[in-house]
Structure 1
């Protein structure tokens, strides 16, 4: 039982860090997708429908 008491705080902090980093990366991914949609919409309105792919996703 003493091993659990020693390891539990580290595991909890590790899990909290993992969830926080997952949220940050998901927010960044969503922001990049929204930016790409907005750029594509702006290009379509400006008449640049065949814009070359930059390779970013």
Structure 2
């Protein structure tokens, strides 16, 4: 039991840095997804305003 706390204190910084990295990557991926959704909405509005077909019709 004497080795338990030193082992925890040795692993804690690595685990904390890993969690910080995970939260940062999660935030980046979510912000990218939100930005893509917003840009798609703006593009759809502009295409509708100009009378162009939707982008989904161009893909097929």
TM-score by length of 1: 0.86
**Cα 1:48–1:4, aligned 2, differ >3 Å: closer, same or farther?**
same
Report the 3-state secondary structure (helix = DSSP H, G, I; strand = E; otherwise coil) of the residue aligned with 2:52.
coil
Residues 37-48 of structure 1: pairs in structure 2 closer than 5 A: 37-48=41-52
User: Which ranges of structure 1 fall in alignment gaps of 5 or more residues?
Assistant: none
Equivalenced residues, count: 55
TM-score by length of 2: 0.82
- Structure 1 residue 25: Cα displacement: 0.4
Q: How well do the aligned residues superpose, as a CA RMSD in angstroms?
A: 1.7
Moved more, 43-52 or 26-35: 43-52
Of 16, 19, 27, the residue aligned with 2:20 is 16
Moved over 3 A (4+): none
Structure number with greater Rg is 2
User: Which ranges of structure 2 fall in alignment gaps of 5 or more residues?
Assistant: none
